[in-house]
Structure 1
């Protein structure tokens, strides 16, 4: 199925049918809502991992974890008791508690890397070790959303880029803004003539990054462009958002995408609900490959984030803050799917 042929409404309906498991009394904790882990948060940046994790929880994730630097843990815990916060990362040359991190990730269905991570070399090395662990020990099957300083690491470290290329298609999702997009472009395509002010060049570079790194690329902007690492097509989300830009909107996006990926794994990887018989209308779209489920997950995350931003701006105008849009995730999810 070529998703780019579908309308916005059709994409949302397909995601509802094929990516989101129902809530049933027979399911145990983590089976329907899944388990998501946000990796980030340091002494200077505690809000970003909270907003990402809070968005994940409000989307309906059963178990939401945060792995952060030790000094950030108490602060993040003070924001809410709804998240499980683990102070396993270390900075300033100290070694992170990788055995504990790996033990936790054994039970996780989707990972978000980058919110509030910072650029300390010890923290970045720990992230690199985590990516390699998922690739080698988990065969790259746990999807990873990479944002913020996780994207900085990709632009600076060729070995990390080589690791990403080895993941199965659709298991790595990058969510760069315009600056992060340019930084990655410069790192992997120095010899290509690329004019960031030209729409055609931007789209060509988006395809190049997606194919070169074997990843789904969510290019954030006036419209969100979601590039597939196969078939060279784009899902464009131009739903109305907000004219006010606040720090942390991207964290809401990573959280909503992370939760949707966990939902999608319940349906695609774990088959909590078997596909309907071939004569049932729900199966007329045919079997979706994982990369299609991941693309739909990104599109849904973009849609919900944009609608949260629109509603928050409608009420708050220039006074809108990150919490105003972040706290609306549950409401917008229900409005979209229930």
Structure 2
């Protein structure tokens, strides 16, 4: 079943968003973890984490699990991020990460992760721990590369959202047997419902001219235009905003009630909400900055875009 953006879906997304209240304490609006950050890539986990925090009514706390080399730069980018340099070869690394995971409401894996073998091996253990705790996850960037090498990692774990770009999408299509070899043009023709089904009905957010979200049964399309600028980091912002919606979903029952009434998988609503917010922010940033727009400009418009979409 395919569905365009309509008032029913927008209403469902709005129901996912918690109301602010003076009666709440720190953490009740969500706590998120970002697994990523390496020597070469420190900006990506920062963008994902700060986007989760700056989404209006965003999550309260953001933990970043990164390599030792990435920790100081990320700490210097923002004092709001709680940084754990635990992606190491230390045999106790997974134990230390597992001590933090139960405090979280959602996990985003992949921004700036890199492909060091010991890091990827550790991330596999993190995924297994998250599954055992029924912790919902967003997989992006090099976590999707890892998945393309071992699709059993999240097969059938329906508390998962994948956010692939076209190359990552193509790799996953090859890994699941939907294509013989990587061909971006052919990959564009494979609907996300097929990829979702081949991975046990996890939620797939296929990025493109229009973002499409599918759980293998229902497909939703985000028709917000976004912007023609393709600066580095936009995908990390999307991972962070989707992660924020996912944490909200864990924190409250509103979304579950609304989704059950509408017979829509809540993770579809979560992914669509983050996609809409990111594209609207990008459109606003491009309208102001034109070709000079970069990802920090997009992040600065998250609040304005949120109010435009969900509070007016």
TM-score (norm: length of structure 2): 0.91
Provide structure 2 residue ranges, at least 5 long, that are not aligned to the other structure.
Answer: none
2:243 maps to which of 240, 243, 258? 258
Match of 1:324 among 290, 297, 309: 297
- 1:76 matched to 2:74: yes
Counterpart for residue 266 of structure 2? 293
Instruction: Tell me: CA distance 1:319–1:96, structure 2 relative to 1, closer, same or farther (3 Å).
Output: farther
Structure 1's 196 and 106: CA in aligned 2 closer, same or farther, altered over 3 A? same
Q: Paired residue for 1:226?
A: 213
Q: Which residue of 2 aligns with 1:27?
A: 24
8 Å CA contact 1:36–1:63 kept in 2: the answer is: yes
Looking at structure 2, the residues matched to 190 and 29 of structure 1 have their Cα atoms a distance apart, in angstroms, of 45
CA distance in 1, matches of 2:250, 2:262: 12
Q: Which runs of 5+ in 1 are unaligned?
A: 276-282
Distance, in Å, in 1 between the alignment partners of 2:114 and 2:188 is: 32
Going from structure 1 to structure 2, the CA distance change for 1:89 and 1:96 (only over 3 Å counts) comes to: farther
The answer (yes or no) to whether the contact 2:32–2:105 under 8 Å persists in 1 is: yes
Compared CA separation, residues 12 and 42, structure 1 to 2 (3 A): same
Q: CA RMSD in A?
A: 2.3
Which residue, 132, 140, 165 being the options, matches 1:177?
Answer: 165
> In the TM superposition, what are the counterparts of 1:233-272 in structure 2 within 5 Å?
233-268=218-253
| Range with bigger deviation, 208-217 or 48-57 | 208-217
Q: Deviations over 1:8-65 (max 9, x none)?
A: 3331222112x1221222222212x110011100011000000000100011111111
Aligned residues: 308
2:103 corresponding residue in structure 1: 107
Q: Alignment partner for residue 118 of structure 1, among 105, 114, 119? A: 114
Tell me how far apart the structure 1 counterparts of residues 149 and 82 of structure 2 sit (CA, whole Å): 31
Of 30, 34, 43, which aligns to 2:39?
Answer: 43
Pairwise CA distance, 1:186: 1.0
Give CA deviations for 1:250-272 in whole Å, capped at 9, x if unaligned: 0000000000011111223xx7x
C-alpha distance in 2 between matches for 1:200 and 1:118: 25
Indicate conservation of the 8 Å contact 1:89/1:96, yes or no: no
For residue 165 of structure 1, give the secondary structure of its aligned residue in structure 2. coil
Deviation at residue 318 of structure 1 after TM alignment: 1.1
Alignment counterpart, residue 50 of structure 2, candidates 49, 54, 60: 54
- Identify the residue that residue 83 of structure 2 maps to in structure 1: 85
- What is the rounded CA distance, in whole Å, between the counterparts of 2:110 and 2:186 in structure 1? 28
- With normalisation by structure 1, the TM-score equals 0.84
The question of whether the paired residues in 2 share the 8 Å contact of 1:111 and 1:144 is answered with yes
User: Residues of 2 paired with 1:195 and 1:321: CA distance?
Assistant: 29
CA distance in 2, matches of 1:193, 1:113: 26
Q: 1:201 to 1:6 in 2, by over 3 A?
A: closer
Rg larger in structure: 1
Cα 1:288/1:13, change in 2 over 3 Å = closer
Deviations 1:164-222 (A, max 9, x none): 1242x2x111111111111111111166699753588321xx22220121210011011
Distance 1:192 1:198, change over 3 A: closer
Q: Give yes or no for contact 2:242–2:273 (8 Å, CA) kept in 1.
A: yes
